[in-house]
Amino acid sequence: MAKRILVANWKNFPDSLQQVGEILDGYSKNSSVFKKISTFIAPPLSYFESVSKRTKSFAHLASQDIFIEKGTITGLVGADILKSFGVRLSIIGHSERRSLGETNEFVSEKIKKALKENIIPLVCVGESERDREGEYLEFIRHELRLSLAGVKRKDDAKKLIIAYEPIWAISTKAKGAIEAEDLAQMVIFIKKILTDLYGRETADRIPILYGGSVDQNNVSDFVQTGISGFLVGRASLDSKKFSEIAKSLIKK
C-alpha cells in the first residue's frame, strides 16, 4: 500500500517568523511520525526558506498555488523560484482561489504547468452546498472533468492528487466536517469519474484526500473511508493537533 499523504496548508498564517519557529519545533518532536507518511507543508512564500531548512528530514515543501504567466510581472512568483526552494507539490484550485474568480479552465492550465515543471498537482474540488436532489454530484463531476481537461496522458494522470474539500464544511459558518459515511460515498463517486476519464488501473493510482474542518477529533472516523490522507488548514498551525492527525494515518 502506498504511503498515506498529509498536507498542511498554512494559508496566510502565522503572523511572525517566531511563531513559525514554534510550530516547526513542535513538528520536529514528532519527525519520526511524519517520516512514516508523505508529509507536505505549504507555508506563505515569505516562510519558504525557514520551513524548507527545518523540515527537510521529515517533510516536503509545497506551495499554495502556482503561476502560469511568463515574463516580467510584478508580484509573480514563477515555478522556477518554487523549484529552487525544493517545492514538490502545489495546491491548485483551492476553494478560496476559486471564490476569487479562478475558473476550471484556469485550474486546468495550472495543472498542466505543474506537470510540466515536475511538481505534483494537488487538485481541489468541492461543492458549496448539498441539496437533497443530488445536484451537487453533477457539480463535482463537471468541476473535476473541466479541471482535468488538459491531462490527457495516463502517465500524467498518475501524478495527480485530488483533494475533496466541501466548501460548506470549511467556511466560517461551517457546522463541522462531513459524516464518514457520506465521505466514503463521495470517494467512490470521484473514483468513478476518474475511471471514466483514465480507466480503472490509473484511477486506482490517484490518491484522494479530504479537507474540511479536519482536526484530531474526527480523523479517526475518516481513515477507513477510502481516502489516502488529509489536506489540513487551521489545525496544521497547532503542532500537537497536526501530529495527532499524522498518527491517525499510521494506525492499523
What ranges do the domains of the chain cover? 5-250
Instruction: At 120, list the grid cell.
Output: 505534483
In this predicted structure, what is the pLDDT of residue 131?
Answer: 82
In this predicted structure, what is the pLDDT of residue 223?
Answer: 92
- What global pTM score does this model have? 0.96
- 60 as an active site residue: the answer is no
In this predicted structure, what is the pLDDT of residue 76?
Answer: 85
Q: Which of 60, 94, 143, 244 is catalytic?
A: 94
In this predicted structure, what is the pLDDT of residue 252?
Answer: 55
Fold of the 5-250 domain: TIM Barrel (3.20.20)
Q: What is the dihedral of CA 100, 103, 84, 18, to 10 degrees?
A: 20
Q: Which of 96, 127, 143, 165 is catalytic?
A: 165
Ordered per-residue pLDDT tens for the chain, 252 residues: 589 999 999 999 999 999 999 999 999 999 999 999 999 999 999 999 999 999 999 999 999 999 998 778 898 889 999 999 999 999 999 999 999 999 999 999 999 999 999 999 999 999 998 887 889 999 999 999 999 999 999 999 999 999 999 999 875 556 678 999 999 999 999 999 999 999 999 999 999 999 988 888 889 889 999 999 999 999 999 999 999 999 999 975
If one counts every other C-beta atom within 10 angstroms of the C-beta of residue 228, the result is 22
- 94 as an active site residue: the answer is yes
